[in-house]
Structure 1
Amino acid sequence: MSVSDATDWPTSALDAAATAFAALTCEPAPLVLDCAAFGADTGLPQRVMPLPALRDWLLRHPRAYTARDEVWRELIRRARLDGPHWVVAAAGMAMPALQQYAARLCQGYYGDPADVDAEILTGFLTALRDRVDLTKPAPYAGLCRAAWRAGRDLRLQQQEYLPVEDIEHVAAGPRTPRVPYGHPDLLVRRAVSLGILDPEDEQAYIDVRLGRRAIEPIAATNGVSVDALRMRLSRIDSRIAEALADGLLTGVASPETVAELRRQAEQRGQRRAGRAAAARRETSQVAAAAAA
């Protein structure tokens, strides 16, 4: 079976995702996960399992929290790094919960149920792509919360509102927006100009910290491990916090302070270059040993 075999493609986003999942997981070459890689202490069957069978096992074992967390961390990693078919796989693995949310939210809903389905799936996919932090427990619960909230927000738009003839009588105080303290992007740019944040880290910092994007694809793009990038961003957080506390990002820095910050930036660059050179030498030595 393939997706192209379907003559009547579902109009519901959830039904379409379920159909695509069925196509990806049918014989003769279904998507699988090797559950032995997760370890015997998870309680998972120690064998390669097609995703539908793995989903059924997780549904039959609702208290297998460790197993569920390990499986979903792997699914999220693959969805972020290994292509669209794993995005479909993750949606299909969550489909029982997503369809349950849709059924509950559509009770008494006067709009098109397909709109609720679409919002639920969009919320799930957004969290799958960028929002769920794999270092925290219960990643699947985070995906489900995002899906539920997206569908609930659509329902809340149906709530009645109170019409008034003159907004001036009900709006307390001035309505002119206040000037923001400082746009985060501008503060990051100033941090780069002062040497607090290295230029090669600027985009990664903006993507992860301000854009709340998933760290795994960004680490892969930058050619570093996830742990290395996470530690690098944590150190940047500390430097920016100190700079904000000292007023460096919102005031005028003395020439002496600027010189010291740039000296520290040069030291970081030298250390990074040294580590990169050492890694290249190690790679060359391993390749030479393998060829011998």
Structure 2
Amino acid sequence: MAIDFRDTTTCKTMNENALSTVHRTFTLLINGPSPLSVDGDIIGHGAPQRPIDLDELKGLLLLPEAEDELKDAVWAHLVRRARCDGPAWVIACVAMAMPGLKNLASRTTRGCPMHTVDDIVSEMVTTFVAQLRRIDLDQPNILPRLLMWARKGALQARARELTSNEICADVPEPVALDAEPFMVLAEAVRCHVITADEAKLINATRLEGQALRAYAGRMGLPADRLYKRRRAAEARLARAIEEGQVSVSCEGLPSNPVR
């Protein structure tokens, strides 16, 4: 039976000091008499061909040599378990994403009073959990896409606080959500994750829908070279989002950096 992500018990657990509660619960799940584990034979892509407990798995994914294909295989498996096998696996998914979520929490709550921080972080985690049911597992970069949705939830919560009397000091107003993909590219250029030319390429062929071959023709470059360049740039961008290196902020961004 698939898990109901609207279950109030699960949501209550998530919303009480969200990240610390998840960490505490995850510790119990991996240290109990029957610790959560995955079958490495099912994961494939270089994973050890044996049962792997989630604490070890988390460490494997954080290694510099961990391939994107392995990460996506692991996350597709974890999300399916969350959909089918109950709240323990929902907690596991949040805990496995903890490095990125902590970084997002730090960035999106900077300068905010503590009770506002709790609300923003809770909304971030709730949005992450909701997307476990919706995320397309056939597309690459599963965790970076989940983290993008989590940050949207955090920014929406912060925006609600800003429209009330709870003003967060020294925090720029959230970027409009429909402009966010472009701003992610701008931030990636500012952080030297991708070049301005790579951002233009991704913006034109991904966000604007231009055919890569037509774009290559206008640039006077071979299409296969641009395809490889885009794939490498998107891989670096996905890793930077996953690790929390790239986060949208208006501060310090040029007004139109990649066009």
TM-score interval, smaller chain: 0.5 to 0.7
User: What is the CA-CA distance between 1:156 and the residue it aligns to?
Assistant: 2.5
> What residue in structure 2 maps to residue 120 of structure 1?
124
AA of the residue aligned to 1:33: V
How far apart, in 2, do the equivalents of 1:71 and 1:156 lie?
33
Shift of 1:47: 2.3
Correspondence for 1:141 among 127, 144, 151: 144
Residue 31 of structure 2 corresponds to which residue in structure 1?
26
**2:89 maps to amino acid:** W
Residue 33 of structure 1: SS of its match in structure 2? strand
**Paired residues for 1:42-81 under 5 Å:** 42-61=45-64, 63-81=66-84
Structure having greater relative contact order (Cα 8 Å, sep ≥ 6): 2
Secondary structure at the aligned position of 1:28 is classed as coil
Compared with structure 1, are the counterparts of its residues 159 and 114 closer, same or farther at alpha carbon in structure 2 (3 Å cutoff)?
closer
1:274: which partner in 2?
Answer: none
Counterpart residue number, 2:91: 88
SS of match in other structure, 2:31 = coil
* 1:49 aligned counterpart, secondary structure: strand
User: Aligned runs of 1:196-275 on 2, under 5 Å?
Assistant: none
Q: For 2:23, give the aligned amino acid.
A: A
How has the CA–CA distance of structure 1 residues 153 and 58 changed in structure 2, closer, same or farther, with 3 Å as cutoff?
same
The one-character-per-residue Cα deviations of 1:135-174 (angstroms, maximum 9, x if unpaired) are 211221221111111001122334479xxxxxxxxxxxxx
Flag structure 1 segments of 5+ consecutive residues without an equivalent: 1-9, 162-292
How far the C-alpha of 1:61 sits from its partner, in A, is: 3.2
Letter in 2 for 1:79: A
TM-score normalised by the chain length of structure 2: 0.53
Contact 2:60 2:66 survives alignment (8 Å): no
Counterpart residue type for residue 81 of structure 2: R
What residue is the counterpart of 1:178 in the other structure?
Answer: none
Moved over 4 A (4+): 158-161
* Aligned-pair CA distance for 1:123: 0.8
Check whether the contact 2:43–2:77 (CA below 8 A) recurs between aligned residues: no
Q: What amino acid sits opposite 1:21 in the alignment?
A: F
How many residues are matched? 150
Which residue in 2 is equivalent to 1:199?
A: none
Query: Which runs of structure 2 are paired with 1:96-175 in the superposition (5 Å)?
Result: 96-110=99-113, 111-129=115-133, 131-159=134-162
Q: Equivalents in 2 of 1:57, 1:102: separation in Å?
A: 23
Query: Could you tell me how far apart the structure 1 residues matched to 2:156 and 2:128 are?
Result: 13
Q: 1:157 and 1:115 mapped to 2: Cα distance?
A: 10
User: Identical aligned pairs, as a percentage?
Assistant: 35
Output the aligned Cα RMSD: 2.2
Give me the whole-angstrom Cα distance separating, in 2, the residues matched to 1:157 and 1:95: 24
Distance 2:80 2:99 in 1: 21
2: distance between equivalents of 1:147 and 1:160?
20
Deviations 1:112-134 (CA, angstroms, capped at 9, x unpaired): 211111011111011012x2011
Structure 2: distance between partners of 1:61 and 1:77: 25
Q: Which runs of 5+ in 2 are unaligned?
A: 1-14, 165-259
1:11 to partner: Cα distance: 4.2
Displacement, 1:90? Answer: 1.0
TM-score (norm 1): 0.48
Which amino acid in structure 2 is aligned with residue 119 of structure 1?
A: E
1:115 and 1:29, CA in 2 relative to 1: closer, same or farther beyond 3 A? same
- Structure with larger Rg: 1
